[in-house]
Amino acid sequence: MKELNKQSIEDIALGAALLGTGGGGDPYVGKLMALQAVENYGPVKVVDVESIPDDALIVLTAMMGAPTVLVEKIANGGEFKRAFEAMEKYLGKKIYATMPIEAGGVNSMIPLAVAAQMGIPIVDGDGMGRAFPELQMVTYHLHGITSGPMVVTDEKGNVSILETINNKWSENIARAMTVAQGGSVMICIYPMTGKQVKDCAIRDIMSYSEKIGASIRESTKKDIPPIKQLLDEIDGYELFKGKIVDVLRETKSGFNFGTVKLEGIEKYKEKNCEVNFQNENLVAKINQEVIATTPDLICMVDTDNISPITTDALKYGRRVVVIGLKCNDMWRTEKGLETVGPKYFHYDIDYVPIEKRIKEASNV
Please give the pLDDT value at position 224. 84
Contact yes or no for 213/11 (Cβ under 8 A): yes
Radius of gyration of the chain (CA): 19
Strands (E), 253-350: 255-264, 272-278, 280-286, 289-293, 297-302, 319-325
Which of 96, 62, 294, 84 lies closest to 194, judged by CA? 96
Please give the pLDDT value at position 104. 83
Side-chain half-sphere CA neighbours of 295 within 13 A: 25
Contact yes or no for 242/268 (Cβ under 8 A): yes
Please give the pLDDT value at position 253. 77
Secondary structure, 3-state, 63-116: EEECHHHHCCCCCCCHHHHHHHHHHHHHHCCCCCEEEECCCCCCCCCHHHHHHH
Please give the pLDDT value at position 65. 83
Please give the pLDDT value at position 343. 97
- Candidates 3.30.530.20, 1.10.260.40, 2.40.390.10, 3.80.10.10; correct CATH number of 223-362? 2.40.390.10
SS3 129: coil
Q: Where are the domains of the chain?
A: 2-205, 223-362
Q: How far apart are CA 197 and CA 194, in angstroms?
A: 5
Beta-carbon count within 10 A of 294 CB: 31
Please give the pLDDT value at position 362. 67
Residue numbers of the chain with a pLDDT score lower than 70: 67-68, 70-71, 74, 362-364
Please give the pLDDT value at position 27. 78
DSSP code of residue 308: B
Please give the pLDDT value at position 68. 65
Q: How far apart are CA 64 and CA 60, in angstroms?
A: 12
Tens of pLDDT, residue by residue over 208-228, are 999 999 999 998 777 788 999
The model's pTM: 0.93
**CATH hierarchy code of domain 2-205:** 3.40.1610.10
